[in-house]
Amino acid sequence: MAVHLALGSAQRGARWLLRPTIRALAAGRTAGTAPAVAVSANQVKLKSEEDLAEITALQMLYRMTFKGYLKKMHELQVYEKQLYGPIYKVRMGDFKAVVLNSVELLEELLRKDEKFPCRGDMTLWTEYRDMKGLGYGPFTEEGEKWYKLRAVLNKRMLHPKDSVQYGDVINEVVTDFIKRIYHLRQISPSGDMVTDVSNELYRFSLEGISSILFETRIGCLEKEIPEATQDFINSIGQMFSYSMLVVMLPKWTRNVLPHWDWYLAGWEGIFKFARNLIDRKMDAIQHRLAQGQEVEGEYLTYLISNRKMSSKDVYGSITELLLAGVDTTSNTLMWALYLLSQNPEVQDRLHREVSSFILGGRPITAQVVSDMQFLKAVIKETLRLYPVVPANARLMTEADISIGGYFFPKKTSFTICHYSISQDEKTFPEPHKFRPERWLRDGRQRPNPFGSLPFGFGVRGCVGRRIAELEMHLALSRIISLFEIRLDPHIGEVKAHNRTVLVADRQVNLHFVERNGTSSN
C-alpha cells in the first residue's frame, strides 16, 4: 500500500512531462507538534528560490525525447542531481516545484511537516468524484477532514498488532497462490516455469487486499477469473493507461478525442466493483440487525458500523485503499524474487533463516515471520533499490519555510526524489548492490532512515503499511521454503520502467525449482 505515494505523484509526474549535509537554519518542528515558525528572509541570510538552477519544459521534453528518459524518469533524477546538485527547481508556465534530491534536505523538510500534510494537486483523482458526487478517501482528502478520516481508517489497520489478526486470512490466500504456482509449473514445458510472474503476483495481491477490505474472496487465483473481477482489473489498467493523456492534453481536447471518455469509463468500472461489494456487506449487516443478531466482521464491517464515516466516505476510502493495496505488494515481491534469483548467496541465507523457524513442521504464521529479521531486511532492501513510487511531494501551506539555506514562501510545492536519494553512495555504500544485511540490527551502523521511505513519513504515512508488509513476508517466506528461484536465462537483464510505479521492462519468467523434501503442503 505504499503506493499511496503514487496517487499524489502520478499527476505531478505527468506534469513534469509537460512543463553536502544541510541543517535547518530556522526553527522547525517534528511531525505532529505545533506549526512551524514563520521564517522571514530578512531574519537570517537566506538565499532566494530565484538563486536555484531551473529546469524548463523544453529541457525536460528534450531529455525525454532525445536522451531516452521517457520511461526512465527515476533515472532522470540521478542525472539531474549530477547537473544541478541536491536542490533545484522546475518551472513550466504557472506550475513550479522545488526539487529536493538529498537525504539531508528530505529530512529537513519532513521534520518541518505540518499538522495536516498536503500532497498538492490531486485533481486527476478528484475530478471524477466531483462529477459523480462521490466521496474522497485518504489519498484525495486534505486538511482537517483528512485528519479525522485517517483517525478512523488507522484503527484495525496501522498498528502491528492489528495486522497480525489478518494473518490467517492472508495465509489462506498465500496457500491458494502456492497451489497456483504448482499448477503453472506442471503445465509448463520445463515442469518448473512460471511465466509472466508480475501478472500472477498482481492477481495474488488483489485477492489478498480484497479479502481484508471486503471480507470476501473475489476469485483472482481461480483458473478462470470471474467476469466481474476481470472487468475490475481491466478498469484499473484503463484508468492508469489514460491518466497521462488526461493530464498532458488541454481540457478542450476532451470534446474531440476519446481519451477522456475512456478514462472516466475506467473509474466507473472501479467504483462499480467496489460499490457492489460494499453494498452486499451493508445489506448483510442490515439483515442481521433486523433479525436482532450481533454484527461480526473485520475491517469493512468496522467502517460501515462506524458512525463517524458516511457511506460516501466508506465508498471513497475503500476504493482508494483497494487501488493502493495492489501495486506495492505485487511489484515488490516481483523485484524481490528477481533479485534473489540474481543473488543466490542471499537466497541461500534467506532459506536458512526460514528453515530454522519451521523445524518440526512448524507452520509459517504472522507471529513467526515477525521474528525473521533477514526476511524483513530482504524486503527493505528491495524497496530501496526499487521504490514502488520513485517520487513524492509536499505542499507547505501554513507558513514560510527555510530548506537548505533557501527561503521559500508558503504555498511552495516540493518534489522529493526518493529513487535518487536511495541510490546515494554516501548513505548506502555500493548502492547498486543488493545487500539486505545493511538493514540488520547486528551492531553495524545502519543507514539514515530517511534514505528509504517507501511507506512515507509521519501522520501521512501509508495506512496499509503493516498489511502490505505482512502479505510480503508471508508470501516470500513460504515461497522460499518450498522453491529455489531461478531466472529464465532467455529473459536477460530486467530493468525498471517508470509508469508512475516502477515495473519491469519486460515479461519476467522464473523457474520455481522444488527443494528436496518439500511438498505443496
What type of residue sits at position 513?
V
- CA nearest to 116, candidates 394, 481, 320: 394
- CA nearest to 149, candidates 349, 387, 397, 321: 321
The distance of Cα 146 from the centroid of its chain, to the nearest Å, equals 19
What type of residue sits at position 296?
E
What is the H or E stretch that residue 485 is in?
Answer: strand 483-487
The radius of gyration computed from the CA coordinates of the chain, to the nearest angstrom, equals: 23
Alpha helices in 133-166 (DSSP H): 143-154, 160-164
For 292, the 3-state DSSP assignment is: coil
Q: Which residue has the cell 544485511?
A: 437
Residues 6+ apart with CB under 8 A from 60: 16, 17, 19, 90, 92
> Is 462 annotated as ligand-binding?
yes
The distance of Cα 148 from the centroid of its chain, to the nearest Å, equals 22
Residue 333: all three cell numbers together: 515481491
* Strand runs labelled E in 83-149: 87-92, 95-100
Distances (CA, A) of 268 to 158, 256, 279: 29, 21, 16
Q: By the 8 A CB rule, do 461 and 113 touch? A: no
| Per-residue DSSP letter, 255 | G
Residues 6+ apart with CB under 8 A from 317: 135, 137, 138, 149, 153, 303, 309
| Per-residue DSSP letter, 44 | T
Q: What angle do CA 342, 344, 345 make, to 5 degrees?
A: 130
> CA torsion angle for 320, 34, 106, 16 (degrees, to 10)?
50
Total length of the chain: 521
Binding-site residues for heme, in ranges, read: 462
Binding-site residues, in ranges, read: 462
